[in-house]
């Protein structure tokens, strides 16, 4: 039934593809357009290192008074790596990640320890201290860094996501991605892990992309591998209409991130901690395009008004930008 009604509305080829013209009508932005029109002109090369190195981003954010996960230790040398256990002795749960990693590569989440002193991952798997040190050594050797050069590892606070979010995520902690142009939030989504994605919030691996109404912070649509769905495949809870806490503060953090990095086009990743509230996790200078699928809206629909607004009022401040986005880009 559903299929026939779908067939009636669309053309026969819509089951497999859309023509370039149809995509353009819907305002969908492709990779080439993102790179040529938004990334290259607005993100000068020299600013990339601010966000590609998470240590620098965190330092910047702290200077601006943004809350970020507390850094427990920075591991720069193999000597540091050897003393890893001492450095982390006071902390049950922590996250180890490469300072210059991308796309969640090399992120190791530890929830606690067992009696034998092994580290427990959220999935329940146990790692020996040796295995953790090896992971750190890999990070130092640059295995996960963007250009393969030597890197350092950050051990930091493991975010305890607020209950609203753990309800819709299988194991992993969901994060919020906000894409911004010239400091205007243009689109937002929540990334929630599934059993298939193995606790990771990576859409390629089968995590859910959940679109968020910029005006209210309520979820409006969810996709799994690009296909819309209403219920979490593993948790069997509804995904639509969930109100995210402290939405205005989240938007505020995102805009501050744009101001402190100076990047024109960027994505800001934020997690909501149960007790600490929204924490800025990282800034991405090359945000992906899956956010369009999660929201069911082409990015161009939002980017073009922002460009117009920005040329008309280049001096708009923080609050004015948020107000514009919330009034124009609501669901």
Partner 1 sequence: MNTRSKLIVAVVGLLLLGGGVAAYKVFRLGMPFWKGEQVHDWQIEARVSFLATGRAVKARLALPAAAVEQQSGQESGSLGYHYHIERELGEYTAVWAAEQREDGQSLYYRVRLPESTRSGGEPVPAAAVPVAGNPGLTGALAQAANSVVTRAKSLTQDPDSLFVVIFDQIRSGESSQEHVLLKSHYQKEFGQNAMIQLGIDLLELAGVPARIAYGVRLEEDSGRHPPVPLVEYHDGAYWKVRDPLDPGAVLDGRDLFVWHRGGGPLLDVTGGEGSQVVFTVAKERLPMSSLSDLRESPFLVSTILGLPLSERAVFRYIVLIPLGAFVVVLMRNIIGISTLGTFMPVLLALALLEIPLARGLIMFAVLIGAGLWFRFLLSRLNLLVVPRVAACVVIVTLLMMLMSVLSYRLGMSGGVQITLFPMIIIAWTIERMSLIWEEEGKQSALTQVAGSLVVAVLAFLFMKIGQIQYWAFYFPELLLVLLAGILLIGRYTGYRLSELFRFKTFADT
Binding track over 188-207 against partner 1, x by CB under 8 A: --------------x-xx--
**Nearest CB to partner 1, comparing residues 74 and 137:** 137
**Nearest CB to partner 1, comparing residues 180 and 293:** 293
With 0-12 / 13-18 / 19 or more C-beta atoms within 10 angstroms meaning exposed / middle / buried, residue 174 is buried
Candidates 228, 241, 262, 317; binder of partner 1 (CB under 8 A) is 228
Candidates 93, 141, 276, 331; binder of partner 1 (CB under 8 A) is 141
**Nearest CB to partner 1, comparing residues 211 and 217:** 211
**Nearest CB to partner 1, comparing residues 266 and 300:** 300
Tell the smallest beta-carbon distance from residue 40 to partner 1 (Å): 9
Candidates 52, 298, 306, 322; binder of partner 1 (CB under 8 A) is 298
Candidates 49, 62, 70, 134; binder of partner 1 (CB under 8 A) is 134
Positions 1 through 60 that interact with partner 1 (CB under 8 A) = 6, 9-11, 14-20, 22-24, 26, 28, 30-33, 36-37
Angstrom distance (rounded) from CA 174 to CA 193: 7
Helix 247-261 vs helix 318-328: crossing angle, to nearest 10: 130
Tell the smallest beta-carbon distance from residue 238 to partner 1 (Å): 20
Candidates 62, 85, 92, 131; binder of partner 1 (CB under 8 A) is 131
Q: Candidates 181-189, 225-233, 257-265, 302-310 — which segment interacts with partner 1 by CB under 8 A?
A: 225-233
Tell the smallest beta-carbon distance from residue 224 to partner 1 (Å): 11
Tell the smallest beta-carbon distance from residue 273 to partner 1 (Å): 26
- Spatial strand order of the sheet with 119-120 comes to 112-113, 119-120, 126-127
Spell out a b/e string for 273-309, using b for 16 or more CB atoms within 10 Å of the CB, else e.
beebebbbbbbbbbbbebbbbbbebbbbbbbebbbeb
Rg (CA), the chain: 20
**Nearest CB to partner 1, comparing residues 204 and 313:** 204
Tell the smallest beta-carbon distance from residue 113 to partner 1 (Å): 20
Q: Candidates 51-59, 92-100, 135-143, 268-276 — which segment interacts with partner 1 by CB under 8 A?
A: 135-143
Under the binding rule (CB under 8 A), the answer on residue 125 touching partner 1 is no
Tell the smallest beta-carbon distance from residue 120 to partner 1 (Å): 19
Tell the smallest beta-carbon distance from residue 83 to partner 1 (Å): 18
Q: Where on the chain is the footprint of partner 1 (CB under 8 A)?
A: 6, 9-11, 14-20, 22-24, 26, 28, 30-33, 36-37, 105, 130-131, 134, 137-138, 141-143, 202, 204-205, 223, 226-228, 292-293, 296-298
């Amino acid at each position: 039934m559903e299929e026939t009604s779908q067939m009636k509305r669309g053309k026969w080829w819509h089951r497999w593809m859309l023509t370039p013209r149809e995509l353009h009508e819907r305002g969908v932005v492709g990779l080439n357009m993102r790179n040529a029109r938004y990334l290259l002109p607005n993100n000068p090369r020299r600013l990339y290192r601010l966000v590609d190195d998470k240590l620098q981003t965190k330092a910047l954010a702290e200077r601006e008074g943004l809350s970020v996960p507390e850094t427990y230790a920075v591991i720069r040398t193999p000597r540091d790596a050897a003393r890893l256990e001492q450095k982390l002795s006071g902390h049950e749960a922590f996250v180890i990640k490469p300072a210059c990693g991308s796309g969640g590569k090399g992120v190791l989440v530890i929830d606690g320890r067992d009696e034998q002193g092994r580290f427990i991952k959220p999935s329940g798997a146990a790692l020996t201290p040796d295995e953790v040190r090896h992971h750190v050594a890999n990070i130092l050797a640059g295995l996960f860094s963007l250009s393969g050069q030597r890197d350092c590892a950050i051990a930091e606070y493991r975010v305890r996501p607020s209950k609203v979010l753990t309800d819709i995520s299988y194991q992993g902690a969901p994060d919020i991605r906000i894409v911004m142009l010239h400091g205007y939030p243009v689109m937002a989504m929540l990334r929630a892990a599934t059993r298939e994605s193995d606790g990771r919030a990576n859409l390629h691996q089968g995590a859910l992309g959940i679109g968020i109404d910029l005006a209210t912070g309520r979820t409006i649509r969810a996709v799994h591998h690009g296909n819309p769905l209403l219920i979490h495949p593993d948790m069997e809870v509804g995904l639509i209409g969930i109100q995210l806490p402290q939405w205005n503060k989240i938007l505020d953090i995102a805009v501050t991130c744009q101001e402190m990095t100076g990047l024109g086009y960027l994505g800001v990743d934020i997690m909501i901690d149960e007790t600490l509230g929204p924490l800025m996790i990282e800034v991405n200078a090359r945000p992906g395009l899956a956010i369009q699928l999660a929201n069911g809206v082409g990015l161009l629909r939002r980017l073009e008004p922002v460009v117009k607004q920005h040329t008309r009022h280049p001096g708009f401040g923080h609050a004015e930008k948020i107000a514009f986005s919330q009034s124009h880009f609501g669901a």
